[in-house]
Amino acid sequence: MKFNKTKIAREFIIEPSVFSDERGYFSESFNLKKVAFDQVGSPTDARDLAKTCLDIIYNKEKEGLSDRGQICNYSNEGVTSWSDFAKEIMTIGDINCDVIPIKTKDYPTLSKRPQYSVLNKSKIKEDFNLDIPYWKDSLKKCIKKINA
């Protein structure tokens, strides 16, 4: 997530680098059996990202942000491969679907994806005293809400 102070007084720009929502969070995984095992990252729930953005906006004056722009990374805690992420979705969601781990080169996509996309969140955690949820905990809440 990028968090930049603008030249306009009291205005900030919050730009997430990568995020998903309750459906997009794992829609690819529901529809595909073959998922890359050699790409790792930190899955991020849009509700966690939105809550963080609102907390930062609400507390920005109390926290005393500097006059210069800031760039802060945000994602849920923990690291997993996308195939293990898909398997976890199937397990938590009680979905009968075999996930087949494949290499990135065998995944049909036009976009080039990084093999390692884990973000360093130390700055945002320190600057805003954040307790960031673990991705599996957020995934469980997400699937529970969808199944409700």
Judge contact between 128 and 55, C-beta under 8 A: yes
Least confident window among 23-32, 93-102, 104-113: 23-32
Single out the residue of 24, 49, 20, 19 nearest to residue 132, CA to CA: 49
The 3-class SS string of 88-144 reads HHHHHCCCCCCCEEECHHHCCCCCCCCCECCCCCHHHHHHHCCCCCEHHHHHHHHHH
Considering 24-33, 58-67, 129-138, the range whose residues carry the highest mean pLDDT is 129-138
What CATH number is given to the structural domain containing 129?
3.40.50.720
Q: Helices 82-92 and 135-147 meet at what angle, rounded to 10?
A: 40
- pLDDT at residue 135 is higher than 90: yes
Judge contact between 36 and 81, C-beta under 8 A: yes
The pTM of the full predicted model, rounded to 2 decimals, is 0.74
Domain residues for the domain of 127 are: 2-147
Single out the residue of 9, 31, 2 nearest to residue 95, CA to CA: 31
Q: What whole-number distance in Å separates Cα of residue 84 and Cα of residue 78?
A: 12
Tens digit of each residue's pLDDT (9 = 90 or more) over 62-91? 555 554 556 788 899 999 998 999 899 889
Tens digit of each residue's pLDDT (9 = 90 or more) over 106-116? 877 777 778 88
CA within 13 Å, CB half, 131: 0
DSSP string across 9-33: TT-EEEE-SS-B-TTTTTHHHHH-S
Question: Domain total for the chain?
Answer: 1
